[in-house]
Structure 1
Amino acid sequence: MIEVLEVLILVYFTVLNTFYAVAVSVATRELSYHIRRRQSVGLTELLNREFYKPVSILVPAYNEEETIQASVDSFLALQYPEYEVIVVNDGSRDGTLATLIRAYDLIETNRNASKTLATRPVRTIYRSRTRPNLTVIDKENGGKADALNVGLTYATFPLFCAVDADSLLDAEALLRLARRFVENDRLIAAGGSVRVMNGSVLKDGRVTELQLPQRWIERVQVVEYARAFLAGRTTFSALGLLLIISGAFGLFKRSVVIEAGGFLEGTVGEDMELVMRLHRRMRDQRQPYDVEFDLDPVCWTQAPDSWKVLRSQRDRWQRGLWEGLLHHRRMWFNPKYGRIGMIAIPYYLLFEALSPLIEVGGYAFMLILALTGHLNLTFVLLFLLLALLYGTVVSVAALSIELFMRVHYARPQHRLQLLLTALLENFGFRQWHAWVRFRATLKLGQKKGQWGAMTRQKITARK
């Protein structure tokens, strides 16, 4: 029995790391293609094109007093022919609304909802006297999904972009992502890259100088984001298996989402659940469609800078992953849903949702073997090689591709420090992270649909 468990654990990590290796290879090819594409299609050409689709930018906000103005400034500075920004204040208890009123000279106005989704009551609608494409909606607290649904009902354009209130968009980001909807009529949802802006220099709502955060806890998240978006989502998108579009930056066809019922309340993973529901609905109706990820557009986000906040965030992410998978369990291993049901969902179930249980179980298994005198040195070495060393090599490879092909840190020592972080994250941080996700899995069903506490640093910028 012990030998069987040892073999199963080793096979699990062998399969997982084989996927990582393939992902790095696919990501390298896709990144090269995107770099050539970006160079061949410049901003001037994009702006001069006659065909584009207007976009509504939805910004759900809850207790975002410290970051909301810098974020809205970045959205208002986007280079796009026609768009509106709709900030939905979800009953914030801090000065979020007061900050918006003061910064943008807001006054009360009347505006009717074009489509109806069941939401919490709206208190007041504001328009800006200085920025005509900015609307602020103040509503009773109902959670992020409810805030997004309110934004959907008041949006007026065919595409909507869902962004986080603590995020900044590159000036060209929306233009480059929306281009995909003009080029591909089948496209119903697309996501862009999200990167950590902690420590960077901002000017006029834009990241003008990329700098490495001083704290190790922030640096390790730079590595995580690079690996997740470069090696993970790039590969899944290229294979037609994409299940997640980040809540920090995603673009959707508004009519399709409204017909699907909007964002689902009662889950902390409303972004993944929506994408899974769109896959399910389109395949049930046998309609052709695409869901894609684009490396090119970049959204900058503020990563947690304390262990407490990071633990809370990863707890929510793990519970959200399970909630989305369980809500759509009908799709598990179901040939009716094609590669989504037979490949994408099984991967997320076995190698994402269950991975902390298996990893923590593997460490516990080794401890039990050691205490009972049955520890097999060969198993220990192979387990550490597959679970730690090989994962480290893949992380360094993914980060190296990101650093030297796409991201330009001004100081060479910053690149070396990030590579060192990629080496060290597997020894301590990874085990801590697995434990947090392990505990989150055991808490499924608790604190459903809550925003969760996220302490923000005040965003400062150079003028």
Structure 2
Amino acid sequence: MSIPYVGLFEVLILGYFTILNSFYAVAVYVATRELSRHIRRRQSVALSELLSREFYKPVSILVPAYGEEETIRASVDSFLALHYPEFEVIVINDGSQDSTLQVLKDAYDLEPVERNPSRVLKTRPVLGAYRSRRVPNLLVVDKENGGKADALNVGLTYATFPLFCAVDADSLLDAEALLRLARRFIENDRLLAAGGSVRIMNGSHMRDGRVSELRLPGTWVERVQIVEYARAFLAGRTTFSSLGLLLIISGAFGLFRRADVMEAGGFLDGTVGEDMELVLRLHRHMREQKRPYDVEFDMDPVCWTQCPDSFSLLRVQRDRWQRGLWEALWAHRKMWFNPRYGRIGVVALPYFLLFEALAPIIEVFSYAFVIVLALTGQLDLRFLALFLLVALLYGAVVSVTALSIELFMRVHFRRPVDRIALLLTALGENFGFRQWHAWVRFLAIFRLGRRRGQWGSMTRRKIRARGF
């Protein structure tokens, strides 16, 4: 059997992987320059100076929670201990079936309060609101189950401050994280939304709700996610932000102007990618109104989160992420290649469409194409060598470089064995894990529209003083 247009397919495949990995190579270079600037900038501005300024913007921290009985206490403690002049923490219990609400009641001595929201978005009914007798800036809202976006919208209606920070209930914030991210809104009046770095805390030692010592997790699947996060946040988002092309602010840690988000309609209910969809809608809203604005990423503030510790849980998470990506892009397909939306329409969205949304289709096809060529005796060894070079080895080198920068300039794993293990993980992820990941994302495309608006399922580990 002879496959037609073999040469054309070979050129297209090699060109695709060359462009993709070359972008990441350029991104690593840009990230290195930005990181150097951030280090100098951080050293030049003392934390005490930021705290003493009188023109800070108060922040409402929104913590949507569903089935978080194991982690909610430690997370809320970390939010309440943040170094910030004025903030409130609003936990929204989205009809949890476990004892999440009871844990909060016991831990913070909650009592029912009457509090009318300042402005109502369409949400599922609220069952009750509770104020802590001991912590005056903590509010807990109990509501019927409606999904994460619905819970965030309830939090928006109860929030009272001009900025709101959306965080995950299984995450911890560095004590200075909110202060450093909110500083961006003081320095830039056009800033609409900003996101910080998200790092994985699996395996690390904890003390008083803080990551006291970074330790490598025990399983390979957890380690490979550390590599992924380093590459995505250090290289990818830093570069997109510096070029004014940022489309994603992580749902685990993002800061927004509340009035503009309310004006745009809040979070979209019924989607599994509410974080990216909101940022896209804000881009669209502001450009259609011809209002100047910025959306930025700051690598300095850090949020610590748990990651899946098994391939089965990781498969569920990545399935949701891929479906969320497609849903967000499709909801705003009007912006694709549309000059009316500037660089977002003609650069950012085409990139995400071709190199993110369609990537698993192209990758699965490429691997299948190579296998078919081999089985039919048409595999050119020169093509195979180039394919391995540009698709796998090139990607591995970029991953190792990005991780090396992260390890030696920002993240401090004290034990040399941890650093070596991570570098070996970065080298090896392209051989096996990448192909599995592409297949999971490929299958997710056939499940678009299913289980819309539902919470992700992941077994939480209780955060302990000596690690978890």
Q: Give the TM-score range, shorter chain.
A: over 0.9
For residues 34-81 of structure 1, give each alpha carbon's deviation from its aligned partner in whole angstroms, at most 9, with x where no partner exists: 011111112111111121000000000000111111100000000000
| Residue in structure 2 matched with residue 417 of structure 1 by the alignment | 421
| Residue in structure 2 matched with residue 74 of structure 1 by the alignment | 78
For residues 210-244 of structure 1, give each alpha carbon's deviation from its aligned partner in whole angstroms, at most 9, with x where no partner exists: 11111111111111110100010000000000000
The letter for the 2-side match of 1:16 is: L
For residues 370-414 of structure 1, give each alpha carbon's deviation from its aligned partner in whole angstroms, at most 9, with x where no partner exists: 222211211111111111100000000000000111111111111
Matches within 5 A, 1:220-231: 220-231=224-235
Q: Distance in 2 between matches of 1:45 and 1:201?
A: 30
Q: Distance in 1 between matches of 2:211 and 2:134?
A: 24
Q: Distance in 2 between matches of 1:222 and 1:287?
A: 38
Matches within 5 A, 1:172-211: 172-211=176-215
The letter for the 2-side match of 1:382 is: L
**Could you say what secondary structure the match of 2:411 adopts?**
coil
**Could you say what secondary structure the match of 1:382 adopts?**
helix
Identify which range, 53-62 or 37-46, moves more after superposition: 37-46
| Residue in structure 2 matched with residue 42 of structure 1 by the alignment | 46
| Residue in structure 2 matched with residue 432 of structure 1 by the alignment | 436
Q: Distance in 2 between matches of 1:155 and 1:238?
A: 30
Displacement of 1:462 in angstroms is 4.8
| Residue in structure 2 matched with residue 168 of structure 1 by the alignment | 172
| Residue in structure 2 matched with residue 407 of structure 1 by the alignment | 411
**Could you say what secondary structure the match of 1:97 adopts?**
helix
For residues 12-52 of structure 1, give each alpha carbon's deviation from its aligned partner in whole angstroms, at most 9, with x where no partner exists: 11111111111000000000000111111121111111210
Candidates 18, 29, 32, aligned match of 2:33: 29
| Residue in structure 2 matched with residue 233 of structure 1 by the alignment | 237
**Could you say what secondary structure the match of 2:89 adopts?**
strand
Matched, 1:53 2:63: no
TM-score of the superposition, structure 2-length normalised? Answer: 0.98
| Residue in structure 1 matched with residue 453 of structure 2 by the alignment | 449
Candidates 335, 345, 349, aligned match of 2:349: 345
Matches within 5 A, 1:46-445: 46-445=50-449
CA gap of 1:367–1:118, structure 2 versus 1, over 3 A, is same
| Residue in structure 2 matched with residue 458 of structure 1 by the alignment | 462
**Could you say what secondary structure the match of 2:327 adopts?**
helix
Q: Distance in 1 between matches of 2:310 and 2:104?
A: 27
For residues 66-114 of structure 1, give each alpha carbon's deviation from its aligned partner in whole angstroms, at most 9, with x where no partner exists: 1111100000000000000000000000111111111111111111100
Q: Distance in 1 between matches of 2:292 and 2:257?
A: 14
Unaligned runs of 5+ in 2: none
Q: Distance in 1 between matches of 2:397 and 2:330?
A: 33
Q: Distance in 1 between matches of 2:456 and 2:31?
A: 33
The letter for the 2-side match of 1:442 is: F
The letter for the 2-side match of 1:235 is: T
Q: Distance in 2 between matches of 1:397 and 1:342?
A: 29
Q: Distance in 2 between matches of 1:179 and 1:136?
A: 27
**Could you say what secondary structure the match of 1:292 adopts?**
strand
RMSD over equivalenced CA pairs, Å: 0.9
Matched, 1:10 2:10: no
The letter for the 1-side match of 2:103 is: T
Q: Distance in 2 between matches of 1:384 and 1:65?
A: 46
Identify which range, 232-241 or 9-18, moves more after superposition: 9-18
Identity among equivalent pairs (%) = 76
Q: Distance in 1 between matches of 2:207 and 2:56?
A: 28
The letter for the 2-side match of 1:445 is: G
Runs (4+) of structure 1 moved beyond 4 Å? Answer: none
Q: Distance in 2 between matches of 1:42 and 1:244?
A: 29
The letter for the 2-side match of 1:376 is: D
**Could you say what secondary structure the match of 2:202 adopts?**
coil
Q: Distance in 1 between matches of 2:187 and 2:52?
A: 15
The letter for the 2-side match of 1:314 is: R
**Could you say what secondary structure the match of 1:5 adopts?**
helix
For residues 333-369 of structure 1, give each alpha carbon's deviation from its aligned partner in whole angstroms, at most 9, with x where no partner exists: 0011110001100010000111111111101111111
Q: Distance in 2 between matches of 1:106 and 1:86?
A: 13
Q: Distance in 1 between matches of 2:327 and 2:81?
A: 36
The letter for the 2-side match of 1:446 is: R
The letter for the 2-side match of 1:307 is: F
Q: Distance in 2 between matches of 1:391 and 1:217?
A: 18
The letter for the 2-side match of 1:199 is: G
Identify which range, 43-52 or 256-265, moves more after superposition: 43-52
**Could you say what secondary structure the match of 1:63 adopts?**
coil
Identify which range, 55-64 or 410-419, moves more after superposition: 410-419
The letter for the 1-side match of 2:125 is: P
Identify which range, 144-153 or 405-414, moves more after superposition: 405-414
Displacement of 1:452 in angstroms is 2.4
For residues 192-225 of structure 1, give each alpha carbon's deviation from its aligned partner in whole angstroms, at most 9, with x where no partner exists: 0000001111112111111111111111111111
Unaligned runs of 5+ in 1: none
Q: Distance in 2 between matches of 1:359 and 1:209?
A: 38
The letter for the 1-side match of 2:11 is: V
Q: Distance in 2 between matches of 1:386 and 1:447?
A: 37
Q: Distance in 2 between matches of 1:376 and 1:359?
A: 19
Identify which range, 378-387 or 93-102, moves more after superposition: 378-387
**Could you say what secondary structure the match of 1:120 adopts?**
coil
